Amino acid sequence: MSRPPASKKGWLAHYSELVGTWARRADSPQDAEDATHDAILRVLENDAAALANPRAYLHRSVRNRLIDKHRQSRLLDVVPLHELEEYEHPLLTDPDAQARTAQLLASLKEALAELPFKCRQVFLLHRLEGHTQEEIAQKLGISVNMVEKHMTRTVRHLRERLHNHAPN
């Protein structure tokens, strides 16, 4: 079992090994360096002496950070329709799209109306107004866990009700 290094310099001794190991598996060497830096910084900020195997902890931490970064890079950029130029606006160029959008909006309103008030409220605050889960919890006087449960229930319900509107 490896022992925790006694100083910052000891923790930084793992830096080259971590970057070298994870640079080959990351999307870029810079990502591996950033993840390693974050992992070591977190260890330095917390009680590093409590770690049974600091080397393994650092490798796992860097791995997890790289996975998170990869997941985030797969997310699409969302641009609100009102920010698009007229020629980029998909609804203005396709008359069928206008009809499909109107039908989807009507189905969405109907599906939201079927939900309990709190689920609907949490969903609208998060998705339309852009509040974080923490902000919603504070605003409604409920726990973040309850906000997550309301969102999960709402999203599941909407997927079930709106699956016919999904592209083939």
pLDDT at residue 55 tops 80: yes
pLDDT higher than 50, residue 1:
no
Token pair belonging to 49? 């002496």
pLDDT one-digit tens code per residue, 2-46: 444 445 566 667 888 888 888 888 878 888 898 888 888 888 777
Class of domain 94-162: mainly alpha
- CA-CA distance, 46 to 40, in Å (whole number)? 10
DSSP string, 43-54: HHHS-GGG-S-H
In percent, the amount of the chain with pLDDT more than 90 equals: 28
pLDDT number for residue 80: 64
The answer to whether residue 148 scores a pLDDT higher than 60 is yes
Contacts of 3 (CB under 8 A, 6+ apart): 54
Annotated domain spans of the chain: 8-74, 94-162
Average pLDDT of every residue of the chain: 80
Neighbouring C-beta atoms of residue 36, cutoff 10 Å: 28
pLDDT band at 93 (very low <50, low <70, confident <90, very high): low
pLDDT band at 115 (very low <50, low <70, confident <90, very high): very high
Task: Please give the single-letter amino acid code of residue 145.
Answer: N
**Nearest by Cα to 54 from 9, 14, 94:** 14
User: Which residues have a Cβ under 8 Å from the Cβ of 121 and sit 6 or more positions away?
Assistant: 140
End-to-end CA distance of the chain: 53
User: pTM of the prediction?
Assistant: 0.46
